Chain A
Amino acid sequence: MRFLDAAYAAARARWQALETSPIPVFFVGAATCGRAAGAGETIERLRGELQARSLEAQIIETGCLGPCSLEPLMVVHKPGAPRICFGTVGPNEAVQILRRHVLGDDPCAEWALGRLDPDSLDGIGAFADHPMMRGQVRRVLKNCGLIDPENVDHYLARDGYRGFLRALEIGGDEVVDAVRRAGIRGRGGAGFPTWRKWATCRETPADQRYLICNADEGDPGAFMNRSLIEGDPHAVLEGMLIAAVALGATQGYIYCRAEYPLAIARLKVAIAHMRALELLGDNIQDSGFSFDIEIKKGAGAFVCGEETALIASIEGRRGMPQPRPPFPAVSGLWGKPTIIQNVETLANLPLILRHGPEWYAEMGTASSKGTRTFALAGKVKRTGLIEVPLGTTLRQIVEEIGGGGSDGKPIKAVQTGGPSGGCIAADKLDLPVDYESLAQAGSIMGSGGMVVLDEDTCAVDLAKYFISFTQNESCGKCPPCRVGTRAMLYLLERIAAGEGQPDDLQRLEDLAVTVARGSLCGLGQTAPNPVLTTLRYFRQEYHDHVEKQQCAAFVCRPLLRHQIDAERCPGCTACIKVCPAEAITGLRGTPHVINQEACSQCGSCLSVCPPIYAAVYRTSGELTRFEERKRKAGAVVADALRPATESEDPEQWN
């Protein structure tokens, strides 16, 4: 069973050659997020500069290393020096790093996030000690950002496919047992023990079983699966092989959403490499195990993340869910026993098989084992893809890894689990992140999206946002979801518009219970969670909307009034020029006035009023909010391509 030996030897040699490369190597994070932050321009400029100087060097496009707010990221291997990871490397920084660090002896400490190798270097700490990395344990993501995801040698050299070889060696029964002892639970949301689902599937007599990888990461605010596939596709594919051995499945499908073109491209390349290594096909290396994988592209339907709807979609039908039971593990794709597993669950399997279940279960809590990746986003200083042991507290994640609220504002709540999850108020931040604790707080672990909210986020508006999402994505099959979410949205819109009735909150709660209990699938059953949790933790805000027509976050537009402070306004006409309603009058040099009858409260005036004047202020109910007046520190750049940085004022956003 040592059929990959030759491939391993070659891969290790190539990897070693890369690690000790006599010419400089630039690893540029070029996943979707890196590209969006400008990695493409960085690479282009770097390539041009290398050519112009006739320098021999290698540029490798990697996946995401995690600290997305610091992208584009670049790891630089300079022969004879430790590898250094640099952040916010635009084209100019790349050229500087080349000149000063690679060709000179200045390690460009101003952009360095840390070194990846143990050898010390003046002024550069270890990357693992960077505040964003310190609290993390990167197991599933161990390759992400460090290897070329389109080069299977890199994966092999770092023990790739050894878990699969082990699975072949020990056989299906033992694999199931290892997964049981590891204690892993599904990472897709519900947290069902993986081995138990497998056992059901194995017990069902059938001539054919299917394995489906659910890469239909539809939760808004979640991007863990995308990053993982883009950065280390083979980890997921190896996980599929292992699950297939355990289940006796012969055909696998990856259902990936069409919004992730790069992930799909990476999977295609990786599957081709698997074929070349004969890791797919009939009777793989005379083991008697046959397996093949096909990619199915989703077409933009959130409900297809639900198991039975996903199956319908793979079968080429409308993606509408079916009542369960029968569960897919008994009767799924084309009526055959089918196991649907989340991307991250699958990527955990090689680790369990390689290192053993005991090693795996070292991390986590009594009932939630292992590590978990989260997509940290929203109003937090350091956004990105992180991985922590289960049981880590929300506070550690948001404050230590995330660095606290963006712009130093206090955190109001953390939203976990997307539209199926809920908001957890700031005073609950010491909650350990495990399946049970989050459920107790009214939320769910969900797929791993974690969106941080601050005082500029309105609880009512957020609930309205999620219900409008689920209402829009409801497939329409069952009335509790179809009609119920619509009725909830109607009430929330009314409250947000300041037209709520005193008993609307009660009505909303009653409806929420009906929708949760009566809906056919997970979409409807969990849709009320965002409403119920915001009602639970921020009820006063709802009351203020209804009774005082007041939105303390200054988000709900019908409850806002924009005004201009005559003493602050020098009459620069900036607001007059942009007002789409032509509601502002005044001559240059005299204070301007907003005609409230004509004003649509769009906030354009607020966003253009120069911070040195900050003359536009807002009122809502009993509240008045002035913007802080600021001295201009350098020109404000209105550049669509530049990502928001920490220093920029998010004040203007609401």
Chain B
Amino acid sequence: MRGIEAASAVAEILSSYLPRRDNLIAVLQEIQDRHGYLSDDVLRALAGASGISENEIYGVATFYAQFRFQPPADHTIHVCQGTACHVRGAHRLLHDFEERLNIKAGEITADQKFGLERVACVGCCALAPVVLVNGTVRAGMKPKSVRGLLSQLGHAPNGTEA
């Protein structure tokens, strides 16, 4: 998104908020909801429109785990690392996803198709271990269901199209 485009996108979002500092996080969340991530152009435009320095905005945005500064992958898989998930084998699950996708948690595959993230706890502890696939909870995951899940999403093991 170029400068002018970013400025109008930001202006549109800001129009539904009172110009108060305590709305900054909500505005950043809405930007990310709409555009998928916080791009340099958008944050620059936000600084210009809000009067909060770019420095300050980055300071806030980078503090919170929710904010991304790169475009998300087509499919994002969050592997829950909550206590109940941990004792029921979440570390194995994460490892399996990492090996099959050939990326580490926090990374995106080269073809932009899959992103792998850890999440501290999604509060579905009674159904542990769980993963979130594009925001939807999958309960009672097992290492052997990893491959099936990925191929459902169009992942082919050797990088060939499924």
Q: Are B138 and A640 in contact (CB under 8 A)?
A: yes
Q: How far is the CB of A221 from chain B (nearest CB, A)?
A: 3
Stretch of B2-10, B41-49, B107-115, B123-131 contacting A (4+ beta carbons < 8 Å): B123-131
Q: Are B124 and A449 in contact (CB under 8 A)?
A: no
The yes or no answer to B72 lying at the interface (CB within 8 A) is no
A313 with B25, Cβ < 8 A, contacts A223-B126, A299-B64 known? yes
The yes or no answer to A293 lying at the interface (CB within 8 A) is no
Interface residue from B21, B66, B127, B142 paired with A316 (Cβ < 8 Å) = B21
CA distance A415 to B124 in the complex (A): 17
Instruction: Mark each residue of chain A from 430 to 444: 1 if its CB lies under 8 Å from any CB of chain B, else 0.
Output: 000000000000000
The yes or no answer to A69 lying at the interface (CB within 8 A) is yes
The yes or no answer to A32 lying at the interface (CB within 8 A) is yes
Interface residue from B67, B96, B130, B149 paired with A36 (Cβ < 8 Å) = B130
Q: How far is the CB of A464 from chain B (nearest CB, A)?
A: 10
The yes or no answer to A652 lying at the interface (CB within 8 A) is yes
The yes or no answer to A385 lying at the interface (CB within 8 A) is yes
A462 with B87, Cβ < 8 A, contacts A316-B22, A638-B142 known? yes
Interface residue from A217, A301, A449, A638 paired with B63 (Cβ < 8 Å) = A301
Q: Are A315 and B88 in contact (CB under 8 A)?
A: no
Q: Are A384 and B64 in contact (CB under 8 A)?
A: no
Q: Are A300 and B125 in contact (CB under 8 A)?
A: no
Q: Are A653 and B92 in contact (CB under 8 A)?
A: yes
Q: Are A415 and B126 in contact (CB under 8 A)?
A: no
Interface residue from B25, B95, B125, B152 paired with A223 (Cβ < 8 Å) = B125
Q: How far is the CB of B100 from chain A (nearest CB, A)?
A: 8
Interface residue from A377, A580, A603 paired with B84 (Cβ < 8 Å) = A377
CA distance A71 to B138 in the complex (A): 13
Q: Are A35 and B99 in contact (CB under 8 A)?
A: no
Contact partners of B148 in chain A: CB under 8 A? 638-640
Q: Are A69 and B126 in contact (CB under 8 A)?
A: yes
The yes or no answer to B24 lying at the interface (CB within 8 A) is yes
Q: How far is the CB of A51 from chain B (nearest CB, A)?
A: 25
Number of interface residues of B (CB under 8 A): 53
Q: Are B88 and A296 in contact (CB under 8 A)?
A: no
Interface residue from B25, B59, B67, B121 paired with A218 (Cβ < 8 Å) = B121
Contact partners of A473 in chain B: CB under 8 A? 120
Contact partners of B99 in chain A: CB under 8 A? 580, 602
Q: Are A316 and B65 in contact (CB under 8 A)?
A: no
The yes or no answer to A142 lying at the interface (CB within 8 A) is no
Q: Are B25 and A384 in contact (CB under 8 A)?
A: no
Name, among B59, B130, B142, the residue most crowded by chain A CB atoms within 10 Å (CB to CB).
B142
CA distance A33 to B89 in the complex (A): 19
Stretch of A114-122, A504-512, A624-632, A642-650 contacting B (4+ beta carbons < 8 Å): A642-650
CA distance A561 to B142 in the complex (A): 22
Q: Are A296 and B140 in contact (CB under 8 A)?
A: no
A37 with B127, Cβ < 8 A, contacts A301-B65, A318-B63, A603-B92 known? yes
The yes or no answer to A314 lying at the interface (CB within 8 A) is yes
Contact partners of A608 in chain B: CB under 8 A? 144
The yes or no answer to A258 lying at the interface (CB within 8 A) is yes
Q: Are A258 and B66 in contact (CB under 8 A)?
A: yes
Contact partners of B128 in chain A: CB under 8 A? 377-378, 383
Q: Are B21 and A33 in contact (CB under 8 A)?
A: no
Q: Are B145 and A639 in contact (CB under 8 A)?
A: yes
Q: Are B92 and A297 in contact (CB under 8 A)?
A: no
Contact partners of B89 in chain A: CB under 8 A? 653-654
Instruction: Mark each residue of chain A from 455 to 495: 1 if its CB lies under 8 Å from any CB of chain B, else 0.
Output: 01100001001100100010100000000000000000000
The yes or no answer to A451 lying at the interface (CB within 8 A) is yes
Q: Are B88 and A650 in contact (CB under 8 A)?
A: yes
Q: How far is the CB of B50 from chain A (nearest CB, A)?
A: 10
Q: Are A319 and B63 in contact (CB under 8 A)?
A: yes
The yes or no answer to A164 lying at the interface (CB within 8 A) is no
Q: Are B124 and A33 in contact (CB under 8 A)?
A: yes
A259 with B126, Cβ < 8 A, contacts A221-B83, A221-B84, A638-B144 known? no
Q: Are B121 and A222 in contact (CB under 8 A)?
A: yes
Q: Are B87 and A457 in contact (CB under 8 A)?
A: yes
The yes or no answer to B23 lying at the interface (CB within 8 A) is yes
Interface positions of B from 36 to 80, Cβ below 8 Å from A: 59-60, 63-67
Interface residue from B26, B126, B138, B139 paired with A384 (Cβ < 8 Å) = B126
Contact partners of A296 in chain B: CB under 8 A? 22, 25-26
Contact partners of B26 in chain A: CB under 8 A? 296-297
Which residue numbers of A lie inside 8 Å of B, CB to CB?
A: 32-33, 35-38, 68-69, 71, 217-223, 226, 258-261, 296-302, 313-320, 375-379, 383-385, 415, 418, 449, 451, 453, 456-457, 462, 465-466, 469, 473, 475, 580, 602-604, 607-608, 638-645, 650, 652-654
Can you pick out 20 interface pairs between chain A and chain B where the beta carbons lie within 8 Å of each other? A33-B127, A36-B130, A36-B138, A37-B127, A218-B121, A220-B85, A220-B86, A221-B82, A222-B123, A259-B121, A297-B29, A317-B60, A383-B84, A451-B125, A465-B86, A608-B144, A639-B145, A641-B139, A643-B140, A644-B139
